[in-house]
Each structure stands twice: as structure tokens, then as C-alpha cells.
């Protein structure tokens, strides 16, 4: 059985878009992935830092196309 870590209850996570499960964190050799506890074929983030934002974006049922967060550049005067 894989070694999953529960995500704290007070952290907002979208449910898995495929099965509705709350995601978990899997640790593999010092890298972390946010993934569905039920299936590795459901969405999982790239190994690295815990990226719940990425999970949330990919598991939103309504994907907002082209909704980029344009932050004002510091170079603008």
C-alpha cells in the first residue's frame, strides 16, 4: 500500500474530478505529489513540492480558458 499523507482539514482542496475523493499527498524519495487516493490514473501533480494550487486548477470542473492571473509587473512605472 502506498504511503499517503492526509492534507490538513483547513486547507481547501478541490475533490478529484473523476471520483470526488479528497486528494492526499504521496511522498516518493523526497518528492511530493498531490494525487487521488483511489487511482493513480486520476490527476496527480508533478513530483516536487506539494502543489495544491495545481491540483485545484486541474480538478475544477469548469476550466476557465485563458484565465491567467496577470500580476502587475514591478517594471511598470
Residue 59 CA, distance from chain mean position: 8
Does residue 36 touch Zn ion according to CB under 5 A?
yes
Contact, 45 vs 38, CB < 8 A?
no
Stretch that binds Zn ion, among 5-13, 29-37, 51-59, 65-73 (CB under 5 A): 29-37
Stretch that binds Zn ion, among 1-9, 31-39, 47-55, 64-72 (CB under 5 A): 31-39
For every residue of 22-59, DSSP letters joined together read PPEEEEETTEEEEE-SS-TTS-BPPSBS--HHHHHHHT
Which residue from 42, 47, 52, 57 is in contact with Zn ion, where contact means CB under 5 A? 42
Q: How far is the CB of 31 from Zn ion (least distance, A)?
A: 20
Beta-carbon contacts of residue 39 (< 8 Å; ≥ 6 apart): 18, 19
Does residue 17 touch Zn ion according to CB under 5 A?
no
Sites of contact with Zn ion (CB under 5 A): 16, 18-19, 21, 36, 38, 42
Amino acid at each position: 500500500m502506498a504511503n499517503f499523507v492526509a492534507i490538513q482539514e483547513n486547507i481547501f482542496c478541490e475533490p478529484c474530478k473523476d471520483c470526488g475523493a479528497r486528494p492526499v499527498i504521496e511522498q516518493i524519495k523526497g518528492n511530493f505529489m498531490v494525487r487521488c487516493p483511489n487511482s493513480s490514473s486520476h490527476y496527480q501533480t508533478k513530483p516536487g513540492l506539494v502543489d495544491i494550487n495545481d491540483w485545484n486548477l486541474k480538478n475544477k470542473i469548469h476550466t476557465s480558458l485563458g484565465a491567467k492571473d496577470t500580476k502587475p509587473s514591478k517594471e511598470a512605472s
